[in-house]
Structures are given as structure tokens and as C-alpha cells.
Amino acid sequence: QKEVEQNSGPLSVPEGAIASLNCTYSDRVSQSFFWYRQYSGKSPELIMSIYSNGDKEDGRFTAQLNKASQYVSLLIRDSQPSDSATYLCAPERGKLIFGQGTELSVKP
Amino acid sequence: KAGVTQTPRYLIKTRGQQVTLSCSPISGHRSVSWYQQTPGQGLQFLFEYFSETQRNKGNFPGRFSGRQFSNSRSEMNVSTLELGDSALYLCASSLSPSGSSGGSEQFFGPGTRLTVL
């Protein structure tokens, strides 16, 4: 079992829709969780951090964390073509452990 | 505030050579982590430095090494380069080291693209 698994892409949604990105992790030690966005040819950019169970909202982005289920998700509301990128989930356990990423494509 | 800077941005080397990459963290950040990104393996952790001390190391051979200076700038070195070392090497900085109760959000530099021929 991989340490971090993300839903395989590519995920295609129409402009204005909600994009749902999921991530499961294998350990019960991680306490901090991060979502990064990576455009093609660029470096990862931190978009959300979450530390407690429940939801955390920041603009069009909502992160959800359920430590008991070892699950973290990212919802992007009112998706825009500029949101088209690869989204990386990264639990922290003394270091960041990255999933393989989910490629999101938002079609105009 | 200036972001994380990495030099050089691009590098071409041949097998057997060695290479040194440099990273300057965001001002005030004392933790620097290094990652290797390849299409097949994704983003993999190399090591983390905080206050000139290596705090954690990933599962890479001893050919990969690093250090941090008193001004928090960091370098990583790869000796005896192999074709498989071709990758994007990313540096990330944070206020506090991984596992801290706060300030451990990591911000990435633009990366160094290393090609080994």
C-alpha cells in the first residue's frame, strides 16, 4: 500500500463546477496536511494547510480532514480554467510525503 | 518578501561527474528541505536542515548529501552522477522544521533541472 494515495486523474470538470480531489494516507501519526498546486513546468505552490478534523475554507477552496478515516480532501468551487493543474496532497510526518497527484482539467 | 531562490536553474552534466545545487530560503526561514521530482517517482524527500543540522533524511544513496550554512542557505551535492539522477531538484523553506506545532508550511523554489548525459 502506498503511503499517500490520490484519486487517479485526469479529472475533467466544466467551468463553474465543483472539483473534488481525494487523498488517503496510511499512517496515524501525521498531524499536519497540505495541498499543493503544480502547474506544468512549475514548482509546487502551497494552497491549503489543515491540522484539525473538519473543514477549513479559504476562498473557493475547502479542505476536509478526517483523521480517523485517514482521509483528506480538497474541494474547489466555481472551478476556473486557471485551476487546471496537478494537485498534490502531502501529509507531514517529520517530512512531507507527497502523493502522485491528481491532474485537474477545467474546460471552458 | 523575496521567495525561495535556487541556482542554477538548469544544469547538464555527464555520468560520473558531481554537482552542487544552491538554495536561498525566504528571509527569516531557518528550515530548508530538498526534494527530487521525476515523472516516474513523483516528489521524493531528500533531506531537511534546520539550524545547520540535518534533521531528517530520505531513502537516497550516500552520493546525495547536503549542508546548511549559518545564514540558512543550503547546498546539496550529488557525486558520481548516474543517468537516473536526471530530475527536477526542489528546495523548500519554512519558518520551523517539519513536525513543529506551527510554522512548518513549506514554500518551494523554482527548482534546478538537472540532466545527466
CB A19 within 8 A of CB A75: yes
Interface of B with A (CB under 8 A): 33, 35, 42-45, 48, 55-56, 58, 88, 90, 92, 98-99, 104-111
CB B86 within 8 A of CB B15: no
- The stretch B91-117 carries a mean pLDDT of 92
* pLDDT of B102 over the 80 cut: no
Per-residue confidence at A87, pLDDT binned at 50, 70, 90? very high
Whole-number Å distance between alpha carbons of B105 and B19: 28
* pLDDT of B20 over the 90 cut: yes
- The stretch B30-57 carries a mean pLDDT of 95
Contact A34 B111 (CB under 8 A): no
Q: How far is B55 from chain A (nearest CA, A)?
A: 9
- Nearest beta carbon to residue B90 from set A43, A92, A97: A43
- Tell me what the pLDDT averaged over chain B comes to: 95
Q: Which chain B residues have a beta carbon less than 8 Å from that of A95? A: 33, 45, 48, 56, 58, 98
Task: Output the pLDDT for position B68.
Answer: 98
Higher pLDDT, B116 or B104: B116
Per-residue confidence at A101, pLDDT binned at 50, 70, 90? very high
For A14-59, how does the pLDDT look when each residue is reduced to its tens digit (9 = 90+)? 999 999 999 999 988 888 999 999 999 999 999 999 999 999 999 9
For A58-75, how does the pLDDT look when each residue is reduced to its tens digit (9 = 90+)? 999 999 999 999 999 999
Q: Which chain A residues have a beta carbon less than 8 Å from that of B48? A: 95
Q: What is the bridge-based pairing of β-strands A11-14 and A102-107? A: parallel
Q: What is the bridge-based pairing of β-strands B112-116 and B10-13? A: parallel
Whole-number Å distance between alpha carbons of A51 and A27: 15
* pLDDT of B107 over the 90 cut: yes
Q: Which chain A residues have a beta carbon less than 8 Å from that of B59? A: none
Contact B58 A45 (CB under 8 A): no
Q: How far is B43 from chain A (nearest CA, A)?
A: 6
Task: Output the pLDDT for position B19.
Answer: 98
